[in-house]
Structure 1
Amino acid sequence: MQVAESKGLPKLKYHLLPRTKGFWVTVQNLRGNAAAVYDSTLNFRNNETPTLLGILNGKKYHADLYVRRIPLDLIPEDEAECAAWLHKLYQEKDSFQEHYTQTGRFPGPIVSPSRRPWALINWLFWACLLLYPLGLLFAQLISSGSVLTILASVALCTAASLGVRWMIGQTEIDRGSSYGNKEVPLNN
């Protein structure tokens, strides 16, 4: 906010100020190699915060994605004009985010892509390829007839599963430090 004030730029409510120099350099290098850049915004419904542990536990997250294609011809080549254009784009993105916060949807038409069978075929191929050796291992384990081997295998799989879930749980954002958070005083 202080940087926006010092540069005479409007304050953004939902976004950080864009890095105009890096964007300009990137666009200059894309010219002649790409036809367009894509502006996208992803929001999760009901202020959900997806986590890897939630996904592993099978929790479904509902998201809305706003994408627009911006031809490189519409982006100014001059660095100052490009910076002004990018700031205007971020103001639009901020207004789109405000609209989403108020209405639960992005402005413009809603497009739901049709389901394609390729995704299912791809999933079935990889599932069969990876599960076949596991199935053979499981069949050999059962046919061995050793109760001790079966119990040891179950204990090993359970310990590995719990260990992975514990490690993923350690990466949750609420376990992070309070460094930089002005609302939480640091204890010395």
Structure 2
Amino acid sequence: MACTLVLWPFNKNLYRKINSYLAYSWWCHFTFLGQWWSGSECELYIDPSDLPYISNEHALVIMNHKYDIDWLMGWIIIERFGMLGGSKIYGKRNLMYIPILGWIWYLTESIFLKRHWSEDQKTLIHDVQQLTEFPERYWVTILLFCEGTRFTEEKHKISMEVADQKGLPRLRHHLLPRTKGFVLSLQAMKGKIPVIYDCTVGFRKDAAEPTLMNILNGRTCRAEMHVRRIPVEEIPYEDEEACSVWLHNLYQYKDKIFHEFTIKGRFEGLQKHKVPRRYWDLSIWIGWAVVLCTPLILYTMKIIREGSHLSNLLLLVAAFALTYVATRWSMGLSDIKKGSSYGKMK
């Protein structure tokens, strides 16, 4: 993928098209693990009139951040709508340095923030405006967790203390949203990204606990996603204070419907819709498995057949061990306990 960087000064659109295909070839390994390996499912609750718009416009997606794999459910859904190659994230800057995964996020123009407002303000304006220049028919979906970090009881306690100090209504299942970055993002997206998709994810209790390790172990998780399409023109983003109030009201609504979900085990008020799986991620995974695993299998058979030297056997064992450790470490990064601490942006 790094070789596509040379295209940037000469043909930015071609660079982005190539990176979209390359990004999809990577991200689809995660959706393969989710929907094919573990058999996990995510069903939408959505107004049927909103369905034709999905996969036909740039969008900013706002999602609650309560689970280890809420982001994976979002990826599974946008893969089924054919938008995975254009998916971007707002992430902490240290994620950029994660081997392979972080590098691909960086090369595919995700937005990385330091949580220092004086620096992040410039980054947001520059990076968001770059993304709004994405070529037509290559739709960009940008995922934003306005809470800034995953939900834990400890973080929730601190967040609600801040709510009391500011005279804001308490939330039961969410942290207070960070409003500055949201307002600035909408202002930078003006005229380019027409809608927000407000997504609230809940996991059913009659399936495996929603963790990436359970996905890797082939255990089925079942998610429900409440989705609303909100035109940006309905949001008072030109007025920072009014836009902040709008976002807080949005999270009060998200908190209300999520609380109902915890009681009833389903979302209400919108029609349930099952988006069918596509076979693209399965096909690509099989293709990569053949390309990468065939030489390894042949080499292993050669060692066994020839009774090769102990050093070769140890090298093979070490390679498997390193792969296992690297995989466990990567999976551990999604653990809620590994999330950032909650506090004010500097």
Identity %: 40
- Give the Cα separation in 1 of the matches to 2:275 and 2:331: 33
Moved more, 138-147 or 116-125: 138-147
- Contact 1:142/1:150 (CA < 8 Å) preserved in 2? no
Deviation >6 Å, runs of 4+: 168-172
Return the offset for 1:63.
2.0
CA 1:56–1:157: 2 relative to 1, 3 Å: farther
Return the offset for 1:13.
0.9
Return the offset for 1:101.
0.4
Return the offset for 1:71.
1.3
Return the offset for 1:119.
2.6
CA 1:161–1:7: 2 relative to 1, 3 Å: closer
Instruction: State how 1:113-128 maps to structure 2 within 5 Å.
Output: 113-128=275-290
CA 1:141–1:39: 2 relative to 1, 3 Å: same
Relative contact order: is structure 1 or structure 2 higher (C-alpha 8 Å, sep ≥ 6)? 2
Kindly indicate whether residue 168 of structure 2 is the aligned counterpart of residue 16 of structure 1: no
- Give the Cα separation in 2 of the matches to 1:59 and 1:115: 18
For residues 98-146 of structure 1, what are the alpha-carbon distances to aligned partners after superposition, in whole Å with 9 as ceiling and x for unaligned? 1110111122211111122223222222221222222221232233234
CA 1:158–1:38: 2 relative to 1, 3 Å: same
- Give the Cα separation in 1 of the matches to 2:196 and 2:337: 36
- Give the Cα separation in 1 of the matches to 2:165 and 2:299: 65
Q: Which residue of 2 aligns with 1:72?
A: 232
Return the offset for 1:172.
8.9
- Tell me how large the CA RMSD over aligned residues is: 3.3
Q: Which residue of 1 aligns with 2:293?
A: 131
TM-score normalised to structure 1 length? 0.75
- Contact 2:201/2:226 (CA < 8 Å) preserved in 1? yes
**Residue from 121, 141, 146 that aligns with 2:303:** 141
- Give the Cα separation in 2 of the matches to 1:96 and 1:171: 29
Residues matched between the structures, number: 178
Moved more, 132-141 or 23-32: 132-141
- Contact 1:53/1:165 (CA < 8 Å) preserved in 2? no
TM-score normalised to structure 2 length? 0.44
- Give the Cα separation in 2 of the matches to 1:129 and 1:169: 24
Return the offset for 1:16.
1.3
* SS of match in other structure, 1:110: strand
